[in-house]
Chain A
C-alpha cells in the first residue's frame, strides 16, 4: 500500500515568509509525528498527534511553529515568519499505534 507522503519535497522561501508543509499518513494510522533534522544532525521531535487527543506540542521550538491534523488524517505544519535557522529537513511519520513509525521522504526547507 501507499506509504507516508509529504509535500512539497523541496521548498525555498525568503526570510519572513510563511510556509506550509503537508503530510499524508498511511491510511488508518492513528499516530502522527513531525520531526526536524538539521544538516548532519539527529531528529528533533516537534509535535505528536494521537487520535482525537490533544497533541503533544512540547517540541515546537517557538510560537512561529504550529501544526494541525484534520479529520485524524492529513497534517499541516506551518512556520510563520521563517528564519534562516528554520532551514532543515522536516520529516513526518505515522504509526498504527504500536512501536513502529513509518517515515515519509521529508520536505527540505531552505530559507534564504
Chain B
C-alpha cells in the first residue's frame, strides 16, 4: 500500500525567505512519481513539480525545487524567496507506475507567508 506523510500541519515563513515543506512516502514499488500541488483559498489544485523515482537530478521549477532523498523516502519541497502569494495549502502526492495508477495524497501543510 502507498502512503504519504506530511508532518507539518502549518508553517510560517517570512517573505523573501526560503521554506522547506516535508514529505515522506512509503511504497514497495520501484517505479513511482512524486508530486507537489498548491491549493490556494480559492480551492483549485495547481501542479507545482514532479520527480520520478529514477530521476537522478532533483526536480526544479522556478522557485520550487524538490529535495529527493530516495534512501530516506523523502521528497521535500523547497520554496525559495517566498512571496505573499505562496500562502496556501501544499499537498505531496505519489503515483505508482504499475497496474492501476492510483494517486495517494498527503494531508497537506498550510503555509502562511508573513510580510
Contact = CB atoms under 8 A, between A and B. Distances in A.
Interface of A: 31, 33, 35, 41-45, 48, 50, 56, 58-59, 89, 91, 93, 99-103, 105-106
Chain A interface helix/strand/loop/mixed: strand
Contact of A48 (B43, B50, B100, B108): B100
Interface string B34-71: 01010000011101001010000000000000000000
A42 B105 contact: yes
B102 A45 contact: yes
A43 B95 contact: no
Q: Which 9 A-B pairs have the closest CB atoms?
A: A103-B45, A56-B100, A43-B105, A42-B107, A99-B33, A42-B105, A42-B108, A99-B50, A100-B47
Contacts, number: 52
27 contacts: A42-B105, A42-B106, A42-B107, A43-B45, A43-B93, A43-B105, A44-B105, A45-B102, A45-B104, A45-B105, A48-B100, A48-B101, A48-B102, A50-B100, A56-B100, A58-B102, A89-B43, A91-B45, A93-B45, A99-B50, A99-B95, A100-B35, A101-B45, A101-B47, A101-B103, A103-B37, A105-B43
A37 to B, nearest CB: 9
A105 B45 CA distance: 8
A3 B101 CA distance: 21
Nearest to A43: B105
Contacts of A44: 105
B25 interface: no
Nearest to A105: B44
